[in-house]
Amino acid sequence: MTNLTTILKKYKESGTFTRDEIISLLGIEDEKELMQLFTQADQVRKEYLGDEVHLRGIIEFSNWCIRNCLYCGINRCNQELARYRMSSDEILATAAEAISMGFKTVVLQSGEDFYYTGEIVADIVAGIKAMGAAVTLSLGERPRADYAQWKMAGADRYLLKFETSDPDLYARLHPGSSLAHRLRCLEDLRELGYQVGSGNMVGLPGQDLASLAGDILLMRSLSLDMAGIGPFIPHPATPLLQAEPGTVKLTLKVLAATRLLLPRTHLPSTTALGSVDSDGRRSGLLAGANVLMVNLTPLRYRNLYEIYPAKAEVKDDPGRLKIEAESMVKQLGRRISTGYGHGNLYKPKPQINA
Ligand code: 5AD
């Protein structure tokens, strides 16, 4: 038996991997073995979550940011970028349109922008909840009191990626910030009752397979409801402009291994994956992913939210993007969920109709 066959056989008995086994999975180069890994992840996705794919509509409402993360195109040191902020009314109108198109979840994302106070965000959350959608927030690190206020206002989920589980690499990439503090925020969110999303980037400079295995184990120990896994893409207006990008192949391996270790967690086939390869999101859906994000940011702002270059979906209107996502899902023999797609951690497996 090959090493992979042994690892997968053991996995089927125990449902788990050692760190070394994860490193072996991430090191697979043989095409046949890769297919074996992706197929196994796809089966586990089907067994635990069924064939439904959840669409999340994302509104990137401000590209102002107080941070200077070395990889990110909207970091505060990027002087070339025109900055925008959407008003509360504009955000609510965009959300209303999304809901009328059938989106059940609205994701609100921005740079870390304290112009939007606890209260302003709470009012927006309450407004969207009153329209009947679930709300995910992705606004970075904020005081616990803000997280608490937004939960009270009805927010369902919060997305805060840890980006890398290596504390030294984290500190290098995020000047003035620490992995410990990020984990503290994630703990606050969990304690406050949010469904918690986190995740990493794949192919960061200075990251190796052992470090990625650590990311996957961290995702598991955080019992995440959602985990976003995307390739690192160097942005020309950042200090990492010369760095090598993360590859689709390695990203898919991380995604598949994560699906095997976190069978019930929502895993998006990320926009970043679709940006490095036009087939990337489809490949992600075949390697364990069960969620797609659709960009609802008004077109006049879209290209200003350039966290990485050549971001997919910069030009198309939401209606068109939704149709494209739906047809991709249909072609794969799957269907778009009509429910909210809340976290599944404590749900039984779906019934398989014979
Ligand atoms: N390449 C890929 N992903 C990036 N992100 C930010 N900058 C980049 C980049 N250069 C991701 C981070 C962040 C999410 C909103 O976008 O993972 O959490």
For 61, how many CA atoms within 13 A lie in the half-sphere containing its CB?
Answer: 27
Q: Which strand (E) or helix (H) includes residue 327? A: helix 318-331
Mutate which of 77, 307, 308 for ligand 1? The one with the most ligand atoms within 8 Å of its CB, which is 307
Residues 329 and 336: their CA atoms lie apart, in Å, by 7
230 lines ligand 1 (CB under 6 A): yes
Residue 126: pLDDT band by 50, 70, 90 thresholds? very high
Average pLDDT over residues 47-54: 97
240 lines ligand 1 (CB under 6 A): no
Residues 345 and 105: their CA atoms lie apart, in Å, by 18
Residue 108: pLDDT band by 50, 70, 90 thresholds? very high
182 lines ligand 1 (CB under 6 A): no
232 lines ligand 1 (CB under 6 A): yes
Mutate which of 201, 235, 271 for ligand 1? The one with the most ligand atoms within 8 Å of its CB, which is 201
173 lines ligand 1 (CB under 6 A): no
User: What are φ and ψ of residue 215, in 5° steps?
Assistant: -60, -45
Does residue 93 surpass a pLDDT of 60? yes
* pLDDT of res. 354: 46
Q: How many angstroms separate the alpha carbon of residue 307 from the centre of ligand 1?
A: 6
Ligand 1 atom with the smallest distance to the CA of 72 is 7
215 lines ligand 1 (CB under 6 A): no
* pLDDT of res. 353: 57
Does residue 39 surpass a pLDDT of 70? yes
Cβ atoms of 55 and 99 within 8 Å: the answer is no
* pLDDT of res. 215: 98
Mutate which of 63, 71, 240 for ligand 1? The one with the most ligand atoms within 8 Å of its CB, which is 71
Residue 285: pLDDT band by 50, 70, 90 thresholds? very high
Q: How many angstroms separate the alpha carbon of residue 14 from the centre of ligand 1?
A: 33
Residues 240 and 264: their CA atoms lie apart, in Å, by 34
Q: Contacts from 210-215 at CB under 8 Å and sequence distance 24+?
A: 210/19, 210/23, 211/164, 211/165, 211/166, 211/169, 212/22, 212/26, 212/250, 212/254, 213/19, 213/22, 213/23, 213/26, 214/19, 214/165, 214/166, 215/162, 215/164, 215/165, 215/254
226 lines ligand 1 (CB under 6 A): no
Q: How many angstroms separate the alpha carbon of residue 63 from the centre of ligand 1?
A: 13
Q: Model pTM? A: 0.96
Q: How many angstroms separate the alpha carbon of residue 304 from the centre of ligand 1?
A: 14
Average pLDDT over residues 87-103: 97
| Mean pLDDT lowest among 135-139, 301-305, 318-322 | 318-322
For residue 305, what are its two tokens? Answer: 């939210």
Tell me which residue has its CA closest to atom 3 in ligand 1. Answer: 232
Pairing, β 52-62 against β 226-231: unpaired
Cβ atoms of 124 and 92 within 8 Å: the answer is yes
CA-wise closest residue to 55 among 254, 330, 253: 330
Q: How many angstroms separate the alpha carbon of residue 43 from the centre of ligand 1?
A: 28
